[in-house]
Structure formats: C-alpha cells, structure tokens
Amino acid sequence: MSQTLLEMAKDLVMAQVEMHRLSPEDMHQALQQTYASLQALKAQEAANGSVAVVTPEISPEPVNWRKSITKHAVMCLACGASFKQLSVRHLKEHGLDGKAYRIKYDIPRAQPLAAKEITSHRQEVVQRTKPWEKAPTFVKAQEKAQKAVAQKTGRAQRKKTTKGKS
C-alpha cells in the first residue's frame, strides 16, 4: 500500500500539529516545505543518489508573539511546545531567561509569559486578597490618615462648642 508524496507530507505535518510542535497557522507553509523535501528525496532516489538535489529554502516569516499567547496556553516560540506558562526552567533549556526571551521575540516587558486564563485568575486573586493593605507602609499611612481625620473632627467639634458658648 503505497502512499503518494502529498499524503506522506500531510501525515507528517498533521503529526507535528497533534504533538503541538506546529501551530495550525503555520501548517500550510510546513506542508509545502515537507512536500518539496519529499519530492527532492524521490528525485534523488530515482537517480540512485547520483544527482544532488537542493531543497528550496523558504525564508522564515517573522514570528508574531501575539499568536503564541492564547486563552488556555502559551506556545514557546523557541521550540513550539505549549504550556500554561513559560517557566524559568523551560527557558533555561534554550539558554534564555524571561528578559532575553522577550528581547529575542520583541515581546513587551509588561506582557506575562502565561496563558490569558492564568493571568486573569492571578489578577482576581490579587484583587480579592488586597496584599497592599497588609504592607507595613500602607498600614502606617492609614493610621496617620485616621489620626489626621480625628484631629480635624476634634477641632471642628471644639469650634462648635466655643461658638455655642458665646
């Protein structure tokens, strides 16, 4: 049962998509490259390896980092693997840290390297727990503000009582 080159190329590309090594947006380009490579191999096999065949090189398109961050996953632009968030450990495998990764792929500093779902969940937790209210500087500022308000209200009450006496 012999497959055509196109069927083999399709099977290879679909396997890459299923293994999350290739995004569905890049599938068309990968299919063309795989088909061209298989044609070159077939031509080389037909010539018994005596003719060197050059596979056409298609220049890679610039990577759009926005497509790599979706609601439920973030795709590593270096290897194509999908995660809920890009960890320091994973980036270290590519010889990068968060800052270097952002610079390499032109990602803004403020953009989290996590799925949108994870980011929104973290924001909800922060708004619910309000950690800034537990910070010592915030507590001191609140106490100082309360004392100032108490002093103002005390002065206002004293003025009312002195006006009432005269």
CATH number at residue 114: 1.10.10.1550
Q: How many domains does the chain have?
A: 3
**Measured distance CA(41)–CA(156) in Å, rounded:** 93
Q: Are residues 17 and 49 in the same domain?
A: yes
Q: Do 72 and 46 lie in a common domain?
A: no
pLDDT of residue 22: 64
Domain final residue, candidates 44, 59, 74 = 59
Domain that holds residue 12: 1-59
Same domain, 90 and 66: yes
Confidence of residue 83 (pLDDT cuts 50, 70, 90): very high
The residue type of 4 is T
pLDDT at position 116 over 70: yes
Counting Cα atoms < 13 Å in the Cβ hemisphere of 100 gives 9
Average pLDDT of the segment spanning 63-87: 90
pTM: 0.48
Query: Is the same domain home to 104 and 144?
Result: no
Residues 122 and 71 grouped into a single domain: yes
Q: What percent of the chain has pLDDT over 70?
A: 80
In the predicted model, what is the mean pLDDT of the chain?
81
